Amino acid sequence: MPRTIISELLGTSQSGRTTLASKLGKKGTSSDVTLYNHQKKSLTIIDPHKYPQNIIPLVQFLEMSDVNLLLLPPNPIDKFTAELSIIGNTYTQKPVLIVQTMKDKVTNIELEHYWAENRKKLHSFKHLFEYPPIQVDQNDGNSITILREKILEIGSNTPLYNSDDDEDAIILVDHAFPVKGVGTVVLGKVISGTVRKGMNLLSLPHKTNLVIRSIQVQDVDVKEANKGTRVGLAIKGQFTNIRRGEFLIGKNIAYELTQELEVENYKQAPFTKEINELKQVHLVHGTNDFPAKVKSEGNKVFLKIDKPVPIIPQLPIFVLDLGGKQRFNGIIEVKD
Residues that bind ligand GTP (CB under 6 A): 11, 13-19, 49, 101-102, 104-105, 138
To the nearest 10°, the Cα dihedral for 223, 226, 232, 234?
50
Q: Are 242 and 186 in contact (CB under 8 A)?
A: yes
Cβ nearer to Mg ion, comparing 33 with 154: 33
Q: Does 216 bind Mg ion (CB under 5 A)?
A: no
Q: Does 18 bind Mg ion (CB under 5 A)?
A: yes
Q: Name the residue with the smallest CB distance to Mg ion.
A: 18
Nearest approach in angstroms of CB 25 to ligand GTP is 14
Q: Which residues does residue 284 pair with via DSSP β-bridges, in sequence order?
A: 289, 318
**Between the CA of residue 310 and those of 20, 165, 245, 290, 300, what are the distances in Å?**
36, 16, 10, 11, 21
Cβ nearer to ligand GTP, comparing 17 with 150: 17
Nearest approach in angstroms of CB 54 to ligand GTP is 12
Q: Are 94 and 62 in contact (CB under 8 A)?
A: yes
Nearest approach in angstroms of CB 67 to Mg ion is 20
| Binding partner of 92, given ligand GTP, Mg ion, none, CB within 5-8 angstroms per partner class | none
Say how far apart CA 73 and CA 129 lie, in whole Å: 17
Helix (H) or strand (E) holding 184: strand 183-192
Cβ nearer to ligand GTP, comparing 72 with 201: 72
| Binding partner of 286, given ligand GTP, Mg ion, none, CB within 5-8 angstroms per partner class | none
Site for Mg ion in 48-77 (CB under 5 A): 49
Nearest approach in angstroms of CB 72 to ligand GTP is 12
Residue ranges of alpha helices (H) inside the chain are 17-24, 56-60, 79-90, 108-122, 141-156
Q: Are 266 and 300 in contact (CB under 8 A)?
A: yes
| Binding partner of 14, given Mg ion, ligand GTP, none, CB within 5-8 angstroms per partner class | ligand GTP
Cβ nearer to Mg ion, comparing 80 with 266: 80
Cβ nearer to ligand GTP, comparing 47 with 224: 47
Q: Does 156 bind Mg ion (CB under 5 A)?
A: no
| Binding partner of 15, given ligand GTP, Mg ion, none, CB within 5-8 angstroms per partner class | ligand GTP
The footprint of Mg ion on this chain (CB under 5 A) covers a number of residues equal to 3
| Binding partner of 236, given Mg ion, ligand GTP, none, CB within 5-8 angstroms per partner class | none
Phi-psi region of 14 (alpha: psi -120 to 50; beta: other; left: phi over 0): left
| Binding partner of 216, given Mg ion, ligand GTP, none, CB within 5-8 angstroms per partner class | none
Per-residue buried b or exposed e for 248-284, using 16+ beta carbons within 10 Å of the residue's own CB: bbbeebbeebeeebebeebbbbeebeebeeeeebbbb
Helix (H) or strand (E) holding 200: strand 200-204
Stretch that binds Mg ion, among 17-25, 197-205, 306-314, 322-330 (CB under 5 A): 17-25
Q: Are 67 and 5 in contact (CB under 8 A)?
A: yes
Contacts of 116 (CB under 8 A, 6+ apart): none
Interface contacts to Mg ion, rule CB under 5 A? 17-18, 49
